[in-house]
Chains A and B, each alone.
Chain A
Amino acid sequence: MLRRRVIPCLDVADGRVVKGVQFVDLVDEGDPAELAARYAAEGADEIVFLDITAAPERRGTLLEVVERTAREVFIPLTVGGGVRSVDEMRAVLRAGADKVALNTAAVADPDLVARCAARFGRQAVVVAIDARARTDGEGWEVLVRGGRDTTGFDALAWAERAAALGAGELLVTSIDRDGTQAGFDIDLLRAISSRVIVPVIASGGAAGPDDFVAAVRDGGADAVLAASIFHRRIHQIADVKAAMAAAGLPIRVSREGVAA
């Protein structure tokens, strides 16, 4: 049976893992390849790098980090942040990423999703959707540029369109919940997962293992992503997986710690 995935996300700027609030006060947290290897050893099912390098001319450092990670970590690696073209996606894949997450560029140019899927296969294309509940309670709106800009896109309609265009997975982040530790937006997840056949990755709001269980069981998510609770060592990946297993959800029991 297909396992529900637990995916730690690392924010990377200028080739280093950083931690900060709303992209300010960034603190150097270490080397992405080393942290990715640690998470892999602890049972992560995939790794996501979110590149938040501010200056485009310094993005070359990302490719070096991706390549180093791909050489050391033998679980899937997804890279998101700032990829705007087929050529940029090609460079990231050739460096050793398995998938690329498109966000702002896909909203600006939806056909980019189709072009990337045609070139690399839909399995390599993740569309990341940052969604915020509309104040009138009528659904969710898509935000871009790290949650700073509104778009007028309806999140559910965009999810269906992105899947139809060729997205192989949707990474759905609740901007309302992101960083709040108030739990995932289950209504948002359920609304999207019930409308698309592609796997949905839940993101934004994880506080503890029970939230991961709810995202899968109630939200219909195929995978769950979190950043801060793993970085701050509030919870271990193994704790999350134990809670999921106790709830009857299929998880991968990692054998990474077993000597080869």
Chain B
Amino acid sequence: MTRLRVAVADYGAGNLVSIARALEIVGARVTIAADAAALDGADALVVPGVGAAAPAMERLARHGLVEPIREWIVADRLFLGICLGLQLLYDGSDEDGAITLGLLRGRTVALRDAPTLPHIGWNQVDIRRDHPVMAGIPDGADLYFVHSYVAAPIDPETVIAETTHGSRFPSVVAKDRTVGVQFHPERSGRDGIRLLANFVDWAAEPVGRAALPIPARAG
């Protein structure tokens, strides 16, 4: 079997070493993509990211990646957004008023009633719906979070798992072949690596079968 080719978007200064290496460990061939041309030939796209939405959108634009990411997801190609990469999928962010990718309905809002902020550390991920990326990960598993804002999706069907820190927020969302995780699987030990392995395995499956557990998009 040929190895899945995964492009990891590089649009800033964050740590890409961990995510690239973690994907390699689970069998992917990784390309670091600092521009649209580097997405050619990729089977899946991973957008990591931490920090605020507005500077991230600016940097994505500077790297010419905004439209390619939009087109990628609209074409229902395999996508994983991590942390800020999940939040950017929504319409906009309350943090700095940024207009984000608008591929999922909802906004990024402040995490309410949190006893500490940022929400930093290992917290439980409570699974609400079955999804291929969560296979073998126990309900309530601890994964590593670092953020102060959360997605507030309009469509509850897209929420795969939730986590609570003061208030409850979605920690895994999915629609069709787009997945977003609020935690950092590349920093979450064994269960995080498992999620990435699941993503890569899911990606390697035929579209029809892989899409089964998720409600199909109308039209």
Interface residue ranges, A against B (CB under 8 Å): 1-5, 40, 45, 67, 70-71, 74-76, 90, 93-98, 118-124, 168-169, 197-199, 222-223, 252-256, 258, 260
Contacts and interface: CB of A to CB of B under 8 A. Distances in A.
B122 A3 contact: yes
A97 B18 CA distance: 9
B52 A121 contact: yes
A256 B194 CA distance: 12
B15 A93 contact: yes
Interface string B107-129: 00000001111111111100000
A160 to B, nearest CB: 14
A67 B20 CA distance: 12
Contacts of A76: 144, 146, 184, 187
Give the interface size bracket for B toward A.
Answer: 35 or more
Interface of B: 13-18, 21-22, 50-52, 55, 114-124, 141-142, 144, 146-148, 164-165, 184, 186-194
B51 A121 contact: yes
A119 B51 CA distance: 8
B193 A168 contact: no
A41 B162 CA distance: 27
- In the A-B complex, the 9 residue pairs with the closest CB atoms: A121-B51, A96-B17, A123-B146, A3-B122, A252-B142, A70-B17, A252-B122, A71-B21, A90-B13
Contact of A75 (B119, B189, B194): B189
B118 A2 contact: no
21 contacts: A1-B164, A4-B121, A70-B21, A74-B186, A74-B193, A75-B144, A93-B14, A119-B13, A120-B14, A121-B50, A121-B52, A123-B51, A123-B146, A123-B147, A123-B148, A168-B146, A169-B118, A199-B120, A222-B120, A252-B122, A256-B190
B193 A260 contact: yes
A67 B21 CA distance: 10
Given A45-B121, A119-B13, A123-B118, A3 B142 contact: yes
